[in-house]
Structure 1
């Protein structure tokens, strides 16, 4: 997958099918757009995602916002779907002032060779957000590109949106998050050395530090799956600050993988969260912590069987 992050890289030599959007959550609504451009590959068009970096929300509020998908996770997801080109259009003082007509004419059509443009009916772009579905409709006739507009996707009578997904993540409702995303919620990272206390109580864990901008569900214990390379393993994950054994307030994601004893330090893993089982707790002793963890493991194993 070709990744474009600078304006001077925008000159494409093949016709494209472009999906426009923020793609901050890659939920069911986004996937409906993505399916359109992926299907257009059958007509010889390159499937192209056009999004913004930083997100318009971050740019205009002036600070980082917790992400459902980090940049690295988004790139991995798009590549796995079969996207050919990912444009992370740089938002800055100059580019946000681009007249929407110029945006369509010069960036989408001339530079990206857009033959098909797919967008939501709430699409917004260009100076002061003046670019919308009606401008795209008018310019599609003038410039000769096909335009497909997608209405909001509904689930259980409510609109599927990134805000809705965020709220469900914050509430720890992982099965609903999966329904809204069309896939499980996960956290990726490099396996770090911890204090090795898991080894001392016979329950070794693999530990990752989540990116600062990753939206985390409530601290506590989750039924999980860990993906390491091409292999997947059932496990139990704790997200939080480990109050029984730590006082540094470092938020970590530690997972006990059943019947697993490989050395994976330094490897990138993905921790998939299936179900919240209990909140994080502080115990009076390591023995009490071990007893609870053994109880947690037994209960989660029953659910997996």
Structure 2
């Protein structure tokens, strides 16, 4: 997958199918957009994601926001879903002030070769977000592109949105989160050296430290699936600070992998979270912790 993050690189020579969006969480609505542009590959069009970096919310509010998908996680997800080109439009005071019609004419059509454009019904772009689906509709015949506007996808009678996904994650409702995303919510990273307490009590674990602004569910224990080198393993994951060991422990994602005893230090892994098992707890002793872990393993190994 080609990644374009500088405006001077906006020179795609191929004809393209472009999906426009914030894509702060790749939920069912986003997947519908992606399926439309990937389907156009059969007609010889390159599939292109057009998103913003930083996100409009971060740019206009002037602060980092908790992320459902980190930049690296989004890149890996888009590539896995068959996207050819990812445009991370550099949002700054100059580019944010682009006239909406100029945005369509110059950027989408002239520089990025759009022959097919897919967007949500609430799409906004250009100066003060004035560009919308009506503008895209009004220009499609003149600029010779096909337009596909996607209505909001609904789950349980409510619209699927990144805000709804964020709320579900924040509440620890991982099964609802999975339904909204169309996939398990995951945390990824490189396996770090831990304090090795798990090995001393017969429960060896792998540890990763999520990026600072990664949105995490409430501290506690979750069933999980761990992806290592493309293979999936059943696991049990604790998210938190390990209060029994140290009150100052950095927030981490620590996973016991069932029937697994390989050295994976330094490897990149993905931890896909399942059902909530219990909240994080502080125990009186290591023996009490060990006994609870054994109960957790039985509970999570569904």
* Fold equivalence (TM over 0.5): yes
SS in 1 for 2:191: strand
Counterpart position of 2:299: 299
TM-score by length of 2: 0.99
Counterpart position of 2:174: 174
Are the counterparts in 1 of residues 277 and 299 from structure 2 also a CA contact under 8 Å?
A: no
Counterpart position of 1:15: 15
Distance 1:90 1:121 in 2: 23
SS in 2 for 1:180: helix
Counterpart position of 2:267: 267
Are the counterparts in 1 of residues 96 and 127 from structure 2 also a CA contact under 8 Å?
A: yes
Distance 1:259 1:249 in 2: 27
Counterpart position of 2:31: 31
Distance 1:144 1:232 in 2: 45
Q: Is residue 119 from structure 1 mapped to residue 119 from structure 2 by the alignment?
A: yes
How is 1:65-76 mapped onto 2 (pairs within 5 angstroms)?
65-76=65-76
Distance 1:84 1:263 in 2: 34
How is 1:84-233 mapped onto 2 (pairs within 5 angstroms)?
84-233=84-233
RMSD of aligned Cα (Å) = 0.7
Structure 1 residues not aligned, in runs of 5+: none
Distance 2:224 2:151 in 1: 34
Tell me how far 1:85 sits from its aligned partner: 0.5
Tell me how far 1:230 sits from its aligned partner: 1.8
Counterpart position of 2:279: 279
SS in 2 for 1:47: strand
Distance 1:270 1:289 in 2: 25
Counterpart position of 1:50: 50
- Post-superposition Cα deviations, 1:196-223, rounded to whole Å, max 9, x if no partner, equal 1111111111000011111000100001
Q: Is residue 234 from structure 1 mapped to residue 234 from structure 2 by the alignment?
A: yes
Counterpart position of 1:83: 83
Tell me how far 1:92 sits from its aligned partner: 0.5
Are the counterparts in 1 of residues 198 and 204 from structure 2 also a CA contact under 8 Å?
A: yes
Q: Which runs of 4+ in 1 moved over 2 A?
A: none
Distance 1:232 1:155 in 2: 28
